[in-house]
Structure 1
Amino acid sequence: MATTCLVVMGVSGAGKTTIAELLAERLGWQLAEADEFHPEANIDKMSAGIPLTDADRAPWLAAIRDWITTKDALGRDTVVTCSALKRSYRAILGEAESRVRFVFLSGGTELIASRLSRRSGHFMPPDLLGSQVGDLEPLAADEDGITVDISAPPSEIADTALRELGLP
């Protein structure tokens, strides 16, 4: 039987890393941060305030997909952070040899912008939030995943996600 990978998705500042860390810890699953899969050219573009194109994202998404498949071959369930903004991006991740389920962290632009303004040490500048919101395609009913509001405290968000996904 295939493993499961939870992809914690949403725009920059939605809380992907915080929630993914909580989920991985509670489930005892291996965690990966999608930012670590970006080629240097992507990081340079984002650091310069230049939004990534679909072509920029393609090798990044393929690397994440391949990592999920590698972990599946080892019998490991995983949690991955990944913006996965578009349905086409999620389709690439869904090609992995694992059951890929999405946890979409959804919230108002004002709340997310206020979080980004307080964040330091990340290559993604707050100026790119608009381009991410513009690219965002929320989960569709036929996609394997859930949508969770980010206005609650992180522990409650993780509790809700696990409950709605039917995971212990």
Structure 2
Amino acid sequence: MPVQADIFRRVLARFASGVTVVTMSDGAQTAGLTVSAFCSLSLNPPYILVCIHHESSALDVVRRSGGFAVHILAEDQSALSARFASHDADKFAGLQCETGLHGAPILSGALAHLECSLVQEVSAGDHSILIGQAEHGEVDEDKAPLIYYTGHYRQLLP
């Protein structure tokens, strides 16, 4: 028998994690969302995975585009995380973005980002696991990460 949903959520909230925003564009439609399920999968080849809810319109965009970008947010970007976690119609309004591989918007100010080609999609529960091959990446060595723990944004101590 599976664990009760409220216990499951409370346990998972105790796992401190970085905060990511995943962006994609197929040329006609641009999408982005805050994603908590992100991790490295393989060093050779360089694979990562992100999980996106089946009902997210972003899934269709990434399928059509063939790729996506993952942004690891910096400690001063909690507002950006909240923006991309919302259901606002135009999450990119007023943002300056460059265009990356597969047309994915590249958000400025992130701690790091990876541009990925979609390798595989696996259905699991109410989410799709997207496996991406990292094609390009950048890091800002002068920034610290935004952390999410027990439903709140946190920062690392110096």
TM interval, short-chain normalised: under 0.3
**TM-score, length-scaled by structure 1:** 0.24
The structure where strand makes up a greater share of residues is 2
**TM-score, length-scaled by structure 2:** 0.25
The structure where helix makes up a greater share of residues is 1
